[in-house]
Structure 1
């Protein structure tokens, strides 16, 4: 009997040890598996982190998580399903007005604008996605517009940059237009990642769709301070002036004084917008690609 008790005790110890060992193995199997890095980054906020000056995620609020653009008021703002959490849902009367803009945004010399958009063709004018206003001018400092083209498969996009210096230059404010053979294809009805950059050192403009750099002619990519055919110098670093407020989903004229009433062609953005970012540098090809993939992966 004593021998049997010893055998029974030994069996219990062995069984207990095996059970613990199995549980340890299960815990190891079920432990979180780390994400693979994309472009050397674990999440989207790591991409050019030292140059990210403003970020709007629109997860149920209009706040800039970098606190560079603040004191905001939303007009008829609603939210929809975004590429990552929620997204700003525009309409014919929606926009967001911010009263305070930090120097980190005002004083950008180079810039990258990144956002996800999902919109449909429209007619009747131009929709403004965002604008950094200018108090003393009909046009603002920096902004992005989508021209109305009617039912179409191509998007006529216009970006605007500003260089106000003393003495002034002939081509201080510049529209960079994707029209004619350079319109953007397959941009409507689905989420598209849009990034455009301007490098103040090389005076070069670039645009990316879904992480890929588009081939554009030198007449669009290279920017000049005046007519290059008559000896115009490169455009150089940006210089915004008379900055007042910031607007998402509309033109500066939608903000009231000191601007006059908006013209009839000045339309609010009616689509969805998500993960809107401003950088004070021109992102590299790898950084744009990584940003696209990480945000698409909801990281």
Structure 2
């Protein structure tokens, strides 16, 4: 489960324990014993955050109650606030259970129910035409897709010639697509066990190096790249016949034909817009989401591991 604090509160806790913010200790004093050995830090632009100066959006999803239509969901980064795009009675904030009392005021997350109304839209030049990117977020999935892939995030012209989006397929594969005008650059992981993904918090990171190569994108789950090596992996089903051909993934494909500007299209969280050719009801995410961060560069594997370690709380 993920819990978080603001930068100022963490600074107070760190100073009280004699630990400087620039350090990356293996354990913290001042937290309940069950949380020692983990950082439980806010991912604001603090010294420990990988490539912090390249962050272009960061949503903590802190708040209470239902998020009404047209309500603003604040981003830490200027001019990247999200807006609830469709009237909904189910898009809301909720509190993480069992958060340490000392940080109980900073334990909220976003909850969705897989309906068309449970999406957030962002219209920001900071997210337009990224030359490379990393998307990091925590999820707790309530229901897996059955017939169509759900979208964790989406910025595209209906998959025509521009933008990108992420998916969770009914097969359990996690995917990322960078839309090109002829064939898309894409990567799909080997299938993840349903029992691993559902009803518990997990950290997903997707990176894209800005090129059209088949190896341009990587997918990470809970701190390490989601690659099958032929050895047992508790995250995966173990059935992935293409892994040796696609560098441990089930599918990789280079993009062709180039891609066009995505500046006229919003960035969406937890689903697709009602105007999309996809059915918003069948592609919407059902579960909980927290700490969504976007960089305009591709994080390294070491960066991702550090990010996971310092955000995880138990």
Q: TM-score, normalised by structure 2?
A: 0.64
Contact 1:195–1:207, Cα closer than 8 Å, also in 2: yes
List per-residue Cα deviations over 1:195-252 (Å, max 9, x = no partner): 11111259422121111123254635865244xxxxxxxx99x754353222212113
What's the counterpart of residue 34 of structure 1?
19
Aligned residues: 239
After TM superposition, list the pairs within 5 Å mapping 1:147-296 onto structure 2: 147-149=169-171, 155-163=172-180, 170-171=182-183, 173-178=184-189, 182-185=190-193, 186-200=196-210, 203=213, 204-215=216-227, 217=243, 219=246, 220=249, 223-226=253-256, 240-241=261-262, 243-252=264-273, 254=274, 256=275, 259=276, 262-263=278-279, 266-296=282-312
Supply the distance in 1 between the matched residues of 2:162 and 2:174 (Cα, whole angstroms): 16
Contact 2:272–2:280, Cα closer than 8 Å, also in 1: no
Contact 1:143–1:161, Cα closer than 8 Å, also in 2: yes
Deviation at 1:139, TM superposition (A): 8.1
- In structure 1, stretches of 5+ residues that fail to align are 1-29, 150-154, 165-169, 227-234
Quick check: 1:87 aligned with 2:109?
A: yes
Give secondary structure in 1 for the equivalent of 2:123.
Answer: strand
RMSD: 3.4
After TM superposition, list the pairs within 5 Å mapping 1:79-158 onto structure 2: 79-82=93-96, 85-93=107-115, 94-98=117-121, 100-102=123-125, 104-120=126-142, 121-134=144-157, 141-149=163-171, 155-158=172-175
Give secondary structure in 2 for the equivalent of 1:294.
Answer: helix
List per-residue Cα deviations over 1:96-155 (Å, max 9, x = no partner): 3425221x3112121111110111334243222111132x75687211122235xxxxx2
Deviation at 1:162, TM superposition (A): 2.5
Supply the distance in 1 between the matched residues of 2:75 and 2:119 (Cα, whole angstroms): 12
Deviation at 1:69, TM superposition (A): 3.1
Q: Which has the larger radius of gyration?
A: 1
- In structure 2, stretches of 5+ residues that fail to align are 1-14, 27-38, 64-71, 100-105, 229-242
Distance 1:33 1:160, change over 3 A: same
Greater strand percent: which structure?
1
What's the counterpart of residue 23 of structure 1?
none
Q: TM-score, normalised by structure 1?
A: 0.67
Deviation at 1:44, TM superposition (A): 3.0
Greater helix percent: which structure?
1
